[in-house]
Amino acid sequence: MNKADLIVALDVPNAEAMEAKLREMPDFIEWYKVGLELFCAEGPAVLEPLKKRGKKIFLDLKLHDIPRTVGNAVKTAAEHGVNLMTVHAIGGRAMLEEAARAAAECEHPPKLVAVTTLTSLSQEDFKDLGINRTVAEQAVELGRLAISSGIDGMVTSAHEAKVLRDAFPDALLVTPGIRMPEGDVGDQKRVATPSFAVEQGATHLVIGRPIVQAEDPTAAATAMLNDMNG
């Protein structure tokens, strides 16, 4: 049994590119993430090929707006049959509660996870943002806010997963910023290997470029899974 789920981020420009990529991907990938790039290009229709293939869908729109807008967006998106969605924890309690309420009212409620600090930010960036906590402190404070507002878990780098796992034993912990030791980090700043993320308590690992842009996506995904499962 896998210790955590691997989610492949379909960060491609359009449906045609997605179809081409899906043809290259191994059948054993159960989860795909559709993010802002693909969803802005194609809208909800882009989810259909994934549903037809029986895949689980993580719709990553990172919602952050006034409570009513976010609640209605969650409700509308959930009607398209997605399994997991993102909101930003810094949207605050009323927004998070409204998102959780909207999800719960759906026929097939998606799980919601709240972004604490994007993996493209480092402690240095907190100075510009006027945040005087460490990244780990921020994760726990925003995690407490999210969980007490009815959200199912957090999106965080693997480096904060342990403190979050200790504080919230039942929470979903979704960790992007996953790289093999020799991997190109690109725009990510807080990166970790698949095995480290799992050891720290992650339940879902989001991996994009290291698999999607690999010459051999099956080999890349297999290597990631082997590392995850030790």
Specify binding-site residues for substrate: 11, 33, 60-69, 119, 179, 188, 208-209
Both tokens of 188, joined, read: 């990510």
Answer yes or no: 227 catalytic: no
**Residue 160 makes contact with ligand OMP by CB under 6 A:** no
Of 110 and 176, CB closest to ligand OMP: 176
Q: How far is CA 107 from CA 67, 82, 91, 104, in A?
A: 21, 11, 25, 8
Answer yes or no: 62 catalytic: yes
DSSP 8-state symbol, 189: S
**Residue 60 makes contact with ligand OMP by CB under 6 A:** yes
Answer yes or no: 184 catalytic: no
CA distance 207 to 205: 6
| Among the listed residues 9, 51, 13, the one whose alpha carbon sits nearest the alpha carbon of residue 155 | 9
Of 82 and 206, CB closest to ligand OMP: 206
Binding flags for ligand OMP, 106-125, as an x/- string (CB under 6 A): ---------x--xx------
Is the distance from CB of 149 to CB of 104 less than 8 angstroms? no
CA distance 141 to 209: 30
Binding flags for ligand OMP, 169-208, as an x/- string (CB under 6 A): -------xx--------x-x-----------------xxx
* Active site (catalytic) residues: 60, 62, 65
